[in-house]
């Protein structure tokens, strides 16, 4: 029988898989400023509306985004702001890694 920790690791991996798509990350970045419709997200990302809808469905299935219906429109919002915080931390780590790689490249070019 798997331990409770094993279940958390499994859920963590599934959430990371959900966030492993650059379009989904871009969608989340635009949703940080507030809810948006599929049409608005398609417009700001430059991605076809059908594609944005597919990505939003994945995010919704994992509980990353929540929906609100108003008339014929469905608006999407980030379900838990900690998701954005986690993405921001990962982004900071990536910028630090890039800076370190650039520093190493410059140092090796000087030799």
CATH number at 21 reads 1.10.10.10
The verdict on residue 108 lying in a domain is: no
The verdict on residue 109 lying in a domain is: no
The verdict on residue 12 lying in a domain is: yes
The verdict on residue 99 lying in a domain is: no
pTM across the whole model: 0.85
Phi, psi of 106 (to 5 degrees): -65, -40
The verdict on residue 40 lying in a domain is: yes
pLDDT tens sequence across 43-76: 999 999 999 999 999 999 999 999 999 999 999 9
Structural domains in the chain (count):
1
Q: Which domain holds residue 40?
A: 4-79
The verdict on residue 102 lying in a domain is: no
Decide if 65 contacts 78 (C-beta within 8 A).
Answer: yes
pLDDT tens sequence across 1-36: 667 789 999 999 999 999 999 999 999 999 999 999
SS3 of the chain: helix, strand, coil, percent, to 5: 70, 15, 20
């Amino acid at each position: 029988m798997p331990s409770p920790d094993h279940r958390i690791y499994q859920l963590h991996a599934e959430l990371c898989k959900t966030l492993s798509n650059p379009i989904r990350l871009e969608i989340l970045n635009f949703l940080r400023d507030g809810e948006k419709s599929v049409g608005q997200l398609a417009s700001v990302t430059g991605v076809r509306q059908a594609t944005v809808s597919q990505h939003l469905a994945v995010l919704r299935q994992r509980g990353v985004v929540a929906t609100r219906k108003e008339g014929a429109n469905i608006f999407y919002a980030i379900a838990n702001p900690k998701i954005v915080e986690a993405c921001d931390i990962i982004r900071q780590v990536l910028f630090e890694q890039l800076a370190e790689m650039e520093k190493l490249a410059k140092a090796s070019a000087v030799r």
